[in-house]
Chain A
Amino acid sequence: MENEFLNIYAAKLVEYGLAIVYMVIFVGFWRWVQGEPAPGRASDTKPAGRAS
């Protein structure tokens, strides 16, 4: 009996395709989330105050 895992049918192709698309987009998304914004963009966080 052939191993089902090795069968290639439409749904499997879409699944593997989706996984590859996800990995490609994920790398870009990860770098975007982790990256520093261009200088000059304001942020919400307050600068650390000096200890009195």
Chain B
Amino acid sequence: MSSTALAAAPRQDWFREKILLGMDLRTYLRSLATPLNALATLLIGLGVTVLVYRFAAGLGASTNLSQAQPWGLWIGFDMMSGIVLAAGGFTIGSAVHLFGMHEYHPIARPAILTAFLGYVLAVVGLMADLGKPWNFYNMMVTPGSASALFEVAGCVLMYTSVLLLEFLVPVFEWLGWRKAHERLEKAMLALTVLSVVFSTMHQSALGSLFLIAPAKLHPLWYSPYIFIFFFISAICAGIAMVVVEGTLTHRIFRHRITGKHADMDKLQIGLGKAGAIGLFAYFFLKMQGVAEGEHWDLLFTGWGAWFLLETVGFVLLPSLLYGYGARYKKVKFVRVAAVITVIGIVLNRLNVSVIAYNWDKPNHYVPSWMEVSVSIGLVTAGVVAFRWIANRMPIMSEDPSFASSEF
């Protein structure tokens, strides 16, 4: 046997073990033929096709955006909602590594992976909206340092890089690269501090973007405190996403947990306490926004009913449900509250950037089917990527051979 053939054999074993989950190529491909995979392929394929069409034909041909309504679903859902739902990474990361709440360590890695994928997909959505992605470097060459948009762009760029580095810890464990893993572990505390700084800056700066549009945004949603609303709601969304995602992944990827299983019910009840307090504060802050603008009369209009549905139905109600679940140790209440919170925060971002934006214009924006298909395709791609990674890499728990890993 030649030396080339001898070298190729371990490489094949590695590929089979790490990528094909121990199966041969044919068996692996056969295992992929499931109805859910077919649906995912269809949705991602449609999204990619529309994206190609968008770059070939332009925004006018593929979206319902106009000069009067330059922001649509890709900003309101992919960017605004994608970023806020990815806040679980810095929320849990700071709780575990900065505040020493090590009991939440088992849910830190899935939260960081969700955050990383969320940011990557949000950036893809943003690129679809902006166009000419090859020009992105201009932001760094000619920084508009007085612009909230520059702060968002800079922080998202840097935070995505930090998340990539944090995600590399399980990647190095998967690859068995001990030296690189060791070096990265030494930098992790600094990376966690950076992640909190960048997240705080851009989660609030996304709200600051609307400070220049007081005449366009409905007065019930516009407030000079809007950047504080965005930051506090990001923390609430982060907690809720960790509960929702933890519930799902703990069931689906149970077989991937090595060593001692964490008591998810207990962890989620602890998160429920934090969620209750966070949402309670957020509700009163929203009321401060109404008080500051003296808009109490607007609460008795149609828009007021919509605003109350968001603030009472999707902020105060889940806060009370979280509180009830935490007090009486009823984890189902915490999970229901988390789902309502996630829906509520997405609704808030859509209200601010799409629904209540240009609210008084005669022709209101409705997204085209192509915009919707790109958004659905991106979400599906995120789910598929999470599953692919979690099935291979030590995301649900650390690799036992890297026992000293603290991150």
Contacts and interface: CB of A to CB of B under 8 A. Distances in A.
Interface in B248-298: 263, 265-266, 269, 273, 276-277, 280-281, 284, 287-288, 291-294
A33 B280 CA distance: 11
A19 B288 contact: yes
Given A11-B291, A15-B288, A26-B280, A44 B330 contact: yes
Interface in B118-159: none
Contacts of B276: 29, 33
Contacts of B294: 10-11, 14
B328 interface: yes
Given A15-B291, A45-B329, 5 more contacts: A11-B294, A29-B280, A29-B323, A30-B277, A48-B263
Nearest to A11: B294
Contact of A45 (B266, B273, B277): B266
Contacts of B328: 37, 41, 43
B115 interface: no
Interface in B311-326: 322-323, 326
A26 to B, nearest CB: 7
Closest 9 CB pairs of A and B: A43-B329, A22-B284, A14-B291, A33-B323, A44-B330, A45-B265, A44-B331, A45-B329, A15-B291
A52 interface: no
B323 to A, nearest CB: 4
Interface string A29-47: 1101111110001011110
Contacts of A29: 276-277, 280, 323
Range class of the B interface residue count: 20 to 34
25 contacts: A10-B294, A11-B294, A14-B294, A15-B291, A15-B292, A18-B291, A19-B284, A29-B280, A32-B323, A33-B276, A33-B322, A33-B323, A33-B326, A33-B327, A34-B273, A35-B327, A36-B327, A37-B328, A41-B328, A43-B329, A43-B330, A44-B265, A44-B329, A44-B332, A45-B265
A25 B4 CA distance: 74
A32 B330 CA distance: 15
A40 B327 CA distance: 13
Interface of B: 263, 265-266, 269, 273, 276-277, 280-281, 284, 287-288, 291-294, 322-323, 326-332
B274 to A, nearest CB: 10
Contacts of A18: 284, 287-288, 291
Contacts of B291: 11, 14-15, 18
A26 B323 CA distance: 12
Contacts of A22: 281, 284
Nearest to A38: B328
Nearest to A19: B288
Contacts of A14: 291, 294
Contacts of A19: 284, 288
B292 A11 contact: yes
B329 A33 contact: no
A34 B280 CA distance: 14
B327 A45 contact: no
A46 B263 CA distance: 10
A32 B327 contact: yes
A44 B336 CA distance: 13
Contacts of B281: 22, 26
Interface centre among B277, B322, B328 (most CB of A within 10 A): B328
Contacts of B269: 45
B284 A45 contact: no
